[in-house]
Structure formats: C-alpha cells, structure tokens
Amino acid sequence: MNYLPFKLSALALSFFSAALAAEDNSIAVQIPDEIIVVTAQGQQSPWLGSAASSFRRSFDQPPLQIDAASLLQHIPGIQADSRANYAQDSRLSARGFGSRSSFGIRGIRLLQDGIPLSSPDGQGQFSSVLLDQLASVEVLTGPLAVLYGNAAGGVVLLQSRWPTENSASVQLSHSQFARQQLLSAAVVKGNHATSVSLKNAELQSQRAHSDAKKQQAQWLWQSAFENDLKLQLRYDWSYDPLLQDPLGLTAQEWQANPHQTAANAETFDTRKFTKQQQWSMNLSQQLADQSWRLAAWFGQRDVGQYLGFDGVAATSAGGVVDLSRPYQGLDASYSWQFDTVRLSLGGALEQSTDERRGYVNNQGVQGDLRRDEEGEVQSADLYSRFVWDLSSTWQFSGGVRHSELDFDVTDFYITAQNPNDSGSTSFAKTSAALALNFAQSDHLSWYISAGRGFETPTFSEMAYQSKGDGLNLGLKESTNQQWELGNKWQLANWRSSVAVFLVESENELVVDQSIGGRTSYRNASETKRTGAEVSALWLASASWQHQWTLTQLNARFTEGAPDGKLLPGVAKQQAQWQISWMPLQSSEWMVQFDTLYRSKIATSDQNLLFAPSATVYHMKLVAESTLSNMQLRYWLGVDNLTDKNYVGAVVVNQANGRAFEPALPRSVTLGLSLNF
C-alpha cells in the first residue's frame, strides 16, 4: 500500500499534542429515564431491565487520546493497565479474564459497530482503533457475555461517531510525553453522510528507548433508504512505523530508578512496527415486528518485531518476528417479535491466516531464517437469543451458541536440527446462558443469571513450549461456569448497581514462562473467582456530580499447583472516585478530579513478588466558547498529580524477573479543538 498521501497529511499537521484520559465531559442535571444497552449479539434492552452487568459511557468529543485503558476507567470489574509501552498495546482484564496477556487483549471479545476486532482464536488489540472518533463504549461482563462465543470472558463494544451534520474540525494537544493532531470533516446530504479523519501522534515515556509514532485514518459512509433500510461502510487504516520497547524492570531496578531501560532493549534494539487496514459493512433493516442484519469485513495486519534476544539456536524460532495476517468474516442474524417474546437467530463465519517467519536478531539487524510457517484458523458459529416478558415485572432471557474452530499449521522450515512442526487441532464447544429479571418498581430491579463459556488458546499461545521445541498443540480449551446476582436502582439524580459473582474455570490458560519477549502457556487445573462490584452515579446538583466504583475480586488457583495462590496480574481491590464541578452560572467550563486506587498485584503463580498498591490522582479543566460559526474547546489536564512512582502493569511469570512496567510520572497536557 502507498503510504505517501498519509505521510504528506501528517507533515501538514506538525503541531504539538498529547494524550489525556477520556471521560464524558457533558454534565446533565437529570439521569436519562432509559439507557439502552446491548446485552447479547445485537439484542438491546433498557439498562434497568437488562439482567446483565453492562456499563455504557458516551463521549461528546473527548480530548485526544492514545491509550485505550483510559476509556475503561470507572467501569467496575475492569482492570485497565497503563503500560506506557506502546509496543505491547493496552491490556485489559474483566473479572480476571485476559490478565495472562503479555501483549494485546486475550479473553475479552472486542467489537466496533458490531464488527469483531478480535480474530477467531481470541487475539485482539486496540492499536488500530481511532479512539478519538468513538461515540460510546459499552462493557458487558458476567454470564451473558459468553453468548459472544470464544474468549468472551467479557465484551467491549465500541460505537463509531457517525456523521449527522456538515462539519470540519482540528484538534491538537501537547505534553512532555505525547504530541497528537487530528483532522476531521463530514458531509451530510439528504439520507447520505460521509466523514474522513486523519490522525498523527508522536509518543514516548520517561524511559529511554520508548519512542513511538502512530498514524491513522478512517472513512465512514452511512445511507438510509426506504423501509428503514440502512447501509454503513467503514474503512480503518493504521500505520505504526516505530514502537520502541524498553522492556520490563526487576523490582530492584524499579525501586532504584523507574526511569531506566533494560540493557537488552538497547543491545537488541527491541522495537515493533505494525500496519493494518480493514473494510467493514453493515446492512440492516428495522421493522415493526422483525429486523435483520448482515455484516461483512476483511482486512490485513502486518507486524514486525525485534525481541530482546538473538534466537540464533538451530531449534529457535528466532529473535525477529515477521507476521502477515489476512482475515475476513461474515455475520448474519434475524429477529422476530412474537407478542411477549423476542427471538434472534444467527450465524457467523470467520477465517484468519498467520504467515509467520522468524529470523536471528543480530543486535537489532535481521539475520538468518529460523522459522517459516503458515497457520490458519477457521470458525463457524450458530447462535440464538430470546427475551420473554413473563409479566409486567418478570422477564426471562437467555441464549445458546455453538462454535467450531479448526487450527492448522504448516511448517516450511525443516532442517536436520529443526524437525517438522506441522500439526492441526480443533475445538467444538457450546456456550449457553439464562437470566431472570424482576422489576420490583419503576426504579428498582433484581436479576440472577448463569452461564457456561469457553476459551481456546490462540496461535500466539501455541507458538512456544517452555520445554522442548515445536508448537504447543497440547494446550486445551479452558471452560468456565459463571453465576451472578445483581441489583440496579435509578432515580432522577441517582443511578447505582451492585453485583456479586462466582466464576469457576477448568483448564485455565495461564502463562508458563515469559522471557525476552517470548511467552509460553499451559493449562492450570482449576481456578475460582468470587467478587462483588459496586457502581454509583450521583448528580448532587446542577453543578456537582460524583461517580464511584468499587471492585473486590478474589481470583485463586483451587486445584493443582499452585493451589490457593492468587491469579497473577489481577488486583484484589480497585476503587475509583470522580468529582465533576461546573459553575451554576455557566455551562462553558468544567473541573474534574479523579482518585484511583489499586491493591498489590502478584507477578507470578507462586506469589513470591508483588507490585505494590498505589493511589493516583488526575485532574482536568475543560472550557468551551463560540466564535461566529466556530466552536472552540480547550483543555488542561494533569495526570498523576502527585508524581507517584507506581507500577502500571506487570509481566506475568517473567522468568528473568523483569516483571515491572513503570507508569508515567506527572504529565501536563494542553489541548485545543476547533469545530466548524
């Protein structure tokens, strides 16, 4: 692909910029009576009447951002790690699902406008998403999430900001760690609308060898036809020419100087680059008593990565990764309304191919070939979902999904020292969930739900064994059983929810060993997670708003070594408090203060080392003004207000002890947005 046009656009945007955590900047004096949430495979329900832990956040042109973790703060049950390492992408875990990930997202299903961002085997990443052009993000956890199929320990649903009026905008921001620029334009004519967005970002952390450059583009098209027929087209393009990796630090190194960089990072010039493009199509029709949807997508992701070792051994897979992944998919569903029953049926087909090569890393220079293979995964799913209004107060809902996945690997690098590592494996599993909701009043509801889901290993997790060579095709799928009891309460100026849950897993996929950027996995016998989540929003007045979230999660191994130990990478407690103030006399500016607490986190299965607990404070000021037909928005943000030295994320089961990834120190962000 020719990247010259975008590079010229990026050069034209040579202004300073920076990232600031995204929050909903709009202050309302009353909570909306009905908040619609998506509870499973396109089915929508009012928040108070949905038997699920579902949390939705809308955005009114948020300040520029680059870290997806900031989108998911203040959502109970979600642990969003700020790694300050753009070569490894943001890491999320939902009730412990996904905590094992050494890079990107595992165990959580990602979708944008109903289109999967996760590959069929469960791998996903936020790096290709233009975060600044999102209208909302919704998170679904608990038993109903399993209805999304493989690796759906939780679901993150992103909605793009589709154009509704003619407009043009420029956004700029700058801090000592980031410079970002975004150009957007939209044209609406009759029933047709289109928009184009271009973004450029230059990033770094306080550590040497941590520079990053990111460029993104997005094109949206939306058309409405007769009989409520709607067509949406989306094209996403991203190019990260440089993502340096400073690697993790030992506990001693972090305590002595969290700004330092691991020696191997500079010796082997650890870095990464990615290119990705994707076309997506949604065709849908919403009638009085029935609706249907057809979605299709295809794209390609290219990755090059230099790891922190040479990989020179004849049986090694190399210290340089060269990956090309074309993928495509199709999803179709039909829904009916029969008096008191809503029924949906659908199916999905997905396929991706990993064309992977590995080379020797000669201190940052690509050397001889050590790996050459092609891995293909295909999935076929059938699913159904129902909602039955038993009475005006009782609602019964549920669904079932059957998934079949086939993995096939062909090894082209076969020598006397390196045997044929070709192989294949397949999985066939059925996920199911049931829920019962009781509306005690117009303001109070209770629900109980149960579900059974599964998660297959990904190609990346099959790639290595801690002992021996070849693919780790002995990995089994993990299965989980979930139960949840919840309560939701909503008044004119209050909204709150409480959920208690139990998750029992067999053959839990966990990190076996992580060293030098190479991670191997194994199946644990059993794990058990119990916990409680509390969320509350109080609009105290026209000027004051408070939001609290609290998560208590006890995630442990329950059978087999290491019996009784905490699941690594998972915080036992998280608490957050956000205060927003807007002067009663003016709606043109707002001050927001955030307090975030996280308890200590184990770095390994044996719980021998913990990243310490931390409390961090953030503050921001947002102001707006109007000049002729132009709207101006300014923002000032201070992240890590007290300059706290804390660990943003841990690398699970790091064999050489470099498990700590330092978070950013205090940073001050200035931003400007001009909308025409």
For residue 591, give the H/E element and its range.
Answer: strand 589-598
Least confident segment among 100-114, 206-220, 369-383, 495-509: 100-114
Tell which wins on pLDDT, 32 or 434.
434
**245-266 average pLDDT score:** 94
What CATH number is associated with residue 137? 2.40.170.20
pLDDT value of residue 24: 36
When pLDDT is averaged across residues 584-603 and rounded to a whole number, the result is 88
**Facing residues of 53 across strands?**
141
Q: What angle do CA 411, 412, 416 make, to 5 degrees?
A: 95
Q: In terms of pLDDT, which residue wins out, 583 or 382?
A: 382
Per-residue pLDDT band at 31 (split at 50, 70, 90): low
How many Cα atoms are found within 13 Å in the side-chain-facing hemisphere of 302?
Answer: 9
Q: pLDDT: is 626 or 284 the higher one? A: 284
pLDDT on residue 587: 65
Q: Strand pairing partners for 387?
A: 342, 397
**Average pLDDT along the chain:** 88
Structural domain boundaries, residue 520: 4-675
Strands 154-160 and 108-112: what pairing?
parallel
Give the distance between the most distant pair of CA atoms in the chain: 79
What pLDDT is attached to residue 70? 83
What pLDDT score was predicted for residue 319? 93
Tell me what pLDDT residue 35 has.
Answer: 60
Q: Is the peptide bond before 562 cis (omega within 30 degrees of 0)?
A: yes
Residue 12: predicted pLDDT? 32
* Coil/strand/helix, residue 366: strand
User: What value does the mean pLDDT take over residues 105-123?
Assistant: 90
Distances (CA, A) of 526 to 74, 426, 506: 30, 22, 5
- What is the per-residue pLDDT for 418? 84
- Measure the CA–CA gap between 517 and 265, rounded to whole angstroms: 10
Number of structural domains the chain divides into: 1
Q: In this model, does residue 519 exceed pLDDT 80?
A: no
Give the helix ranges, DSSP H, for 354-410: none
pLDDT at 282 exceeding the cut of 90: yes
Enter the pTM of the model.
0.90
Q: CB-based contacts of 257: which residues, under 8 Å, 6+ apart? A: none
Task: Give the least confident one: 39-48, 223-232, 611-620.
Answer: 39-48
Give CA–CA dist 72/140, Å, rounded: 12
Q: Which residue has the higher pLDDT, 308 or 89?
A: 308
Residue 227: Cβ within 10 Å count: 7
User: Could you give the CA distance from residue 601 to residue 650 in angstroms, rounded to a whole number?
Assistant: 8
Q: Look up residue 430 and give its two tokens.
A: 């059925």
pLDDT band for 462, please (50, 70, 90 cuts): confident
pLDDT surpasses 70 at 219 = yes
Could you give the C-alpha distances from 265 to 272, 309, 464, 470, in angstroms and in order? Answer: 12, 9, 21, 26
Q: Which two tokens stand for residue 659?
A: 């498990």
Tokens representing residue 128 in the block: 């290709």
Q: How confident is the model at residue 36 (pLDDT cuts 50, 70, 90)?
A: low
Nearest to 640 by CA among 612, 669, 611, 619: 619
Gap between the Cα atoms of 662 and 642, Å rounded: 15
For residues 409 and 423, is the Cβ–Cβ distance under 8 A? Answer: yes
Structure tokens at 528: 């058990």
**Per-residue pLDDT at 148:** 94
Tell me: pLDDT of 38 over 60.
no
pLDDT of 29 > 50? The answer is no
User: Structure tokens of 442?
Assistant: 């117009």
| pLDDT of 197 | 97
pLDDT in tens, 287-333: 989 999 999 999 999 999 999 999 998 888 899 999 999 999 999 99
111 or 63: which leads in pLDDT: 111
**For residue range 566-590, what is the model confidence (pLDDT) as tens digits?**
999 999 999 999 999 988 666 688 9
Q: Is pLDDT above 70 for 23?
A: no
Identity (one letter) of the amino acid at 37? V
pLDDT at 459: 82
Cβ contacts of residue 33 below 8 Å, gap of 6+?
A: none
Over residues 413-449, the pLDDT tens digits come to 999 888 888 889 999 999 999 999 999 999 999 999 9
* C-alpha distances in Å from residue 415, one per residue of 151, 227, 313, 355, 465: 36, 63, 12, 19, 19
325 or 51, higher pLDDT: 325
CA distance 238 to 215: 6
Rg over CA atoms, the chain: 24
With pLDDT > 70 as the criterion, what percentage of the chain qualifies? 91
User: Do 168 and 676 touch, CB atoms closer than 8 A?
Assistant: yes
The pLDDT assigned to 518 comes to 66
Range of lowest pLDDT (118-122, 539-543, 557-561, 632-636): 557-561
SS3 content of the chain, % helix, strand, coil (to 5): 5, 55, 35
The string of pLDDT tens digits covering residues 645-659 is: 999 999 888 878 899
Task: Tell me the torsion sign for CA atoms 640, 643, 646, 648.
Answer: positive
How high is the pLDDT of residue 660? 95
Q: Mean pLDDT across the stretch 593-598?
A: 96
Residue 523, pLDDT score: 86
pLDDT band at 517 (very low <50, low <70, confident <90, very high): low
| Banded pLDDT at 366 (limits 50, 70, 90) | very high
Which tokens go with 323? 């990956």
In sequence order, which residues have a C-beta less than 8 Å from that of residue 291 and are 6 or more positions away?
284, 285, 334, 335
Q: Where are the beta strands (DSSP E) in 27-152?
A: 36-40, 43-46, 53-58, 78-81, 91-94, 108-112, 115-116, 134-141
pLDDT over threshold 70, residue 233: yes
